Amino acid sequence: QVQLVESGGGLVQAGGSLRLSCTASGRTFSSGYMGWFRQALGKEREFVAAISRSGGNTAYADSVKGRFTVSRDNAKITVYLEMNSLKPEDTAVYYCAADPWLARGKVADKDEYTFWGQGTQVTVSS
């Protein structure tokens, strides 16, 4: 079993920045992906970004490309989401997810992830 804990959410003004962290504990794997998803009030959970176990492969939703950066520190078993130039439409609960068997072509599909964190709220004021 894998436990994921997100942190770093909060309230920020439009144009500001936040860095989210997701720390994993429990069983670890040598492959697969970790991803970030978000869910705004009344909307479906949507893909934000993903990163491979090695950190060599990343993927982003079009809506965040050029503004968000996903990275990881395997020594700390932590994945980060650096969010810059935040917009009010980025307001959502952000979730970390992981799956040790996930292939690159499936990283944007929330149904492919086995493990999920509890989420952290990000609110961007205009």
Q: Is the pLDDT of residue 27 over 80?
A: no
Half-sphere exposure of residue 125, counting CA atoms within 13 Å on the CB side? Answer: 4
Q: What secondary structure letter does DSSP report for 100?
A: T
Using one digit for the tens of pLDDT, what is the confidence trace for 34-82? 999 999 999 999 999 999 988 899 999 999 999 999 999 988 889 999 9
CA-nearest of 19, 12, 25 to 86 is: 12
**Rounded to an integer, what distance in angstroms lies between the CA atom of residue 78 and that of residue 55?**
11
What per-residue string of b and e applies to 52-78 under the rule 16 or more CB within 10 Å gives b?
bbeeeeebbbeebeeebbbebeeeebb
Q: In terms of DSSP bridges, do strands 68-73 and 78-83 run parallel, antiparallel, or are they unpaired?
A: antiparallel
Residue 4 phi/psi, 5-degree rounding, is -120, 130
Instruction: Please give the pLDDT value at position 84.
Output: 98
**Rounded to an integer, what distance in angstroms lies between the CA atom of residue 76 and that of residue 61?**
26
Q: Is the pLDDT of residue 30 over 90?
A: no
Locate 25 and state its tokens. 């504990």
**Encoded amino acid at 43, one letter:** K
Query: Taking a C-beta distance cutoff of 8 angstroms, is the pair 84, 72 a contact?
Result: no
